[in-house]
Structure 1
């Protein structure tokens, strides 16, 4: 029996710094990448978050799939090539005196041939909070019935316990392409890889990049992560 070829999918994960920087550059960066899906951290989460999320998606040439205020600024955007069949938002327990954090999830079908679960989160800057948040995020990832694509601003590097929790059993796209030396934060003074994209081992990582250009340095305080994948085709 001939094995079905994989289905290509281009993914961007991007902490957009609450659109505090050059929004025209931000839109241009994403449009030039031509992604099928964008996993956003620090998206709209306050007053008029729905029209703001729609406007952000429109500036990228995409539509809103899931997230926003119910996911505390985590936002999943898709092209019309991707169909969303279910979505879910999650809020992590609040530690008094800290910011609320959460995650967004969407079950998707691309090209009518491949199903996958898209997930995004943004963990706390507090190292005491992150492990429990990572465990809650990971519980949802492990419960997914389709291959997972998960991206997050983990606010720690690959040597951290929260990172290890989320990464367990998944493929780190940067490591798969031998590009774990590509730093994601900050644009002004790159010194850390705290933004990651992980995929189910059934998904093939074709290419990985951290896009460092004059335009991305104007667009946010994080660099975008750009990954090309091949999804397993449905039988």
Structure 2
């Protein structure tokens, strides 16, 4: 980890297990982290999804930036410190007999002259279809006009082809912080690092943590990733 000048930003990437666990614990975990941006996997994506996304954001002390049903449960939330400039959602092609997957993107700005693109995705549990989804996600990341911050549940570890495809040309925040031994799944029996945060090489990783506490073990089946970054001044 190298400290340098830049605009600070705290990011959480979190698979919230479709809010099937302890909702109060989930809200407490995120509020304690005090993030500027939360990249959610398995967020609301069905009946009354807009209201449910807004309720979730309010429980976290944040606002909805992008995602929900159009991004198939990938949801981007921000604090009022972050200004959202543009958003888009993506759906990956459906493999018959499998679940639809997608991604959400938001171009953002923060005071101090920094702009960035935040993105989130949740790749398939099927190893046969993950690489194609990763390629589509990566194509959008490469097309971003500002430094990228990408959080994802990749459903495979760093030795997998989909992980390698997304990571290419980006910094794995866990590796940059020398904490790639921190496992993210499952809370009941941590054995794998399948959740990741990747950033543009121009972004400095100041700190990285996988939060394993009694509270996070009640909140979801994944541990949250909390990363402190310094963004380059782009304005």
**Which band: TM-score by shorter chain?**
over 0.9
Offset of residue 111 of structure 1: 1.2
In 2, the alpha carbon distance for the partners of 1:82 and 1:192 equals 32
Partner of 1:88 in structure 2? 88
Partner of 1:173 in structure 2? 173
In 2, the alpha carbon distance for the partners of 1:141 and 1:115 equals 15
In 2, the alpha carbon distance for the partners of 1:47 and 1:177 equals 40
Q: Secondary structure at the match of 1:44?
A: coil
User: How many residues of Structure 1 are paired with residues of Structure 2 in the alignment?
Assistant: 232
Q: CA RMSD in A?
A: 0.8
Partner of 1:164 in structure 2? 164
In 2, the alpha carbon distance for the partners of 1:202 and 1:112 equals 16
Partner of 2:196 in structure 1? 196
In 2, the alpha carbon distance for the partners of 1:114 and 1:107 equals 11
The reply to whether residue 75 of structure 1 matches residue 75 of structure 2 is yes
Partner of 1:38 in structure 2? 38
In 2, the alpha carbon distance for the partners of 1:113 and 1:32 equals 27
Offset of residue 144 of structure 1: 0.2
Partner of 2:128 in structure 1? 128
Normalising by structure 2, we get a TM-score of 0.98
Q: Secondary structure at the match of 1:76?
A: strand
Partner of 2:232 in structure 1? 232
The reply to whether residue 115 of structure 1 matches residue 90 of structure 2 is no
Partner of 2:222 in structure 1? 222
Kept after mapping to 1: 8 A contact 2:85/2:109: yes
Offset of residue 234 of structure 1: 2.5
CA deviation map 1:114-138 (0-9, x unaligned): 0000000000000000000000000
In 2, the alpha carbon distance for the partners of 1:163 and 1:203 equals 20
Offset of residue 233 of structure 1: 1.1
In 2, the alpha carbon distance for the partners of 1:89 and 1:158 equals 25
In 2, the alpha carbon distance for the partners of 1:8 and 1:179 equals 20
Partner of 1:8 in structure 2? 8
Offset of residue 113 of structure 1: 1.2
Offset of residue 112 of structure 1: 4.9
Normalising by structure 1, we get a TM-score of 0.98
In 2, the alpha carbon distance for the partners of 1:220 and 1:226 equals 15
What residue ranges of structure 2 are gaps of 5+ in the alignment?
Answer: none
Offset of residue 5 of structure 1: 3.1
Kept after mapping to 2: 8 A contact 1:5/1:233: no
Q: Secondary structure at the match of 2:90?
A: strand
Partner of 1:50 in structure 2? 50
What residue ranges of structure 1 are gaps of 5+ in the alignment?
Answer: none
Kept after mapping to 1: 8 A contact 2:7/2:112: no
Q: Secondary structure at the match of 2:134?
A: helix
